[in-house]
Homo-oligomer: A and B are copies of this chain.
Amino acid sequence: MAENRQVLIDSLPEDKLSESNYRLETTPIPEPGKDEVLCRTLVITVAAGSRAGLQGSASYAGGPNVNVVMGGTGVARVEKSNSAILSPGDLVVCGTGWQDYSVHNADGLLKISDDVDPAHYLGALGTNGLTAYFGLLDVGEPNEGNTVLVSAAAGSVGHMVGQIANIKGCQTVGITSTPEKCQQLKAKVGFDAALSYRSEDFRGELKDTCANGVDIYFDNTGGDILGMALRRMNVHSRIVCCGVVSQYDTSNPGAAPTGIPGLLVNKRIRMEGFLIFDYASQFETAREEIKGWIKSGTLTPLNDEFDGLDKAPAAFVDLLAGGNIGTRIVRIED
């Protein structure tokens, strides 16, 4: 292959995103300049957060553009290098976008090892895995025997929270959308129990499943699920505030759950938000520990794979429809 295939944004979605909002083009392979490297994309991840970048009116400055390569993070192999700090053959994590080749300044690229599947650097060893790791371990402070409840448990963060909680000897309860995903959470991820928030009696099922209460609630959703979880929390329990999926897709976020701060006082609950960037100085140590778990088979991160650059739009559309378990990735080149 002597050309660069690129997936471009062809049009902005008016309602739901579809594959027809993208088009495939072929351009010449770019040449790296001074201090730059040419990178060959091996694998990319598609993330729900990217959908937000396609919203808004193009009439506003800074609004989304069409006819540009769709952005995204990937693992790439250095093909040519004009930098002393990277050599051809090195593997790096970078903003490849949805294309075969990209050029980057070598400074600031994360060089990675090849002793595990490089795709893990987009999941278990990437931002999502680190979010699960620090959120659960540093903010949640799990103790053996604790009951850990996780919302959006099938997601790239949530499924890692469940696995790490299992490693720490906790009982794990995952919340997801459908009964099918509940089955997968138990069979593939190892959750001890799983619940569908769409169930008619979700509130009752949550109460029954967490009969001994909840010690850590890892909240990826906010909203009603947070409200129901709050009423299951034990004395001196922790709510790890990681994300607010329930409010990403609305300009009119609902009221917060009642019982705040009253229940926090009565039960001495700690509710704490965090952002992964605050832990940057500890990333390398955390990656080594997670990698150790992967190599020993203690942890089995799920990468939900599509194959081929041309399948990236379909992988994204399916992700937004809630089709994935784990981290959604697209293999471009072996």
Interface, chain A (partner B; CB < 8 A): 219, 222, 226, 239, 241-244, 247, 253-275, 278
> Assuming A243-B265, A256-B258, A258-B253, is B270 touching A272 (CB within 8 A)?
yes
Which B residues touch A270, using CB under 8 A?
A: 270-273
Which B residues touch A258, using CB under 8 A?
A: 253-256
B241 touches A265 (CB 8 A): yes
Which B residues touch A269, using CB under 8 A?
A: 272-273
Q: Which residue of B253, B260, B266, B267 is within 8 Å of A256 (Cβ)?
A: B260
Which B residues touch A267, using CB under 8 A?
A: 273
- Closest A-B pairs by Cβ, 10 of them: A264-B273, A265-B273, A255-B255, A241-B261, A256-B260, A256-B256, A270-B272, A241-B264, A271-B271, A244-B262
Which B residues touch A275, using CB under 8 A?
A: 265-266, 268
B278 touches A273 (CB 8 A): no
Which B residues touch A226, using CB under 8 A?
A: 261
B261 touches A271 (CB 8 A): yes
A272 touches B262 (CB 8 A): no
Q: Which residue of B242, B260, B266, B278 is within 8 Å of A260 (Cβ)?
A: B260
B253 touches A265 (CB 8 A): no
Closest approach, in angstroms, between the C-beta of A241 and any C-beta of chain B?
Answer: 4
B262 touches A268 (CB 8 A): no
List the B residue with the shortest CB-CB distance to A271: B271
> Assuming A268-B278, A272-B271, is B262 touching A259 (CB within 8 A)?
no
Q: 8 additional contacts, CB 8 Å, given A244-B262, A266-B273?
A: A241-B261, A260-B260, A261-B271, A265-B274, A268-B274, A268-B278, A270-B272, A271-B272
List the B residue with the shortest CB-CB distance to A257: B256
Closest approach, in angstroms, between the C-beta of A331 and any C-beta of chain B?
Answer: 32
List the B residue with the shortest CB-CB distance to A236: B278
Closest approach, in angstroms, between the C-beta of A14 and any C-beta of chain B?
Answer: 27
Which B residues touch A247, using CB under 8 A?
A: 262
Which B residues touch A253, using CB under 8 A?
A: 258, 262
Q: Which residue of B242, B256, B262 is within 8 Å of A265 (Cβ)?
A: B242
Q: Complex formed: what's the CA distance from A257 to B275 in Å?
A: 22
Q: Which residue of B242, B255, B264 is within 8 Å of A271 (Cβ)?
A: B264
Q: Complex formed: what's the CA distance from A261 to B272 in Å?
A: 9
Which B residues touch A259, using CB under 8 A?
A: 256
Q: Complex formed: what's the CA distance from A256 to B224 in Å?
A: 12
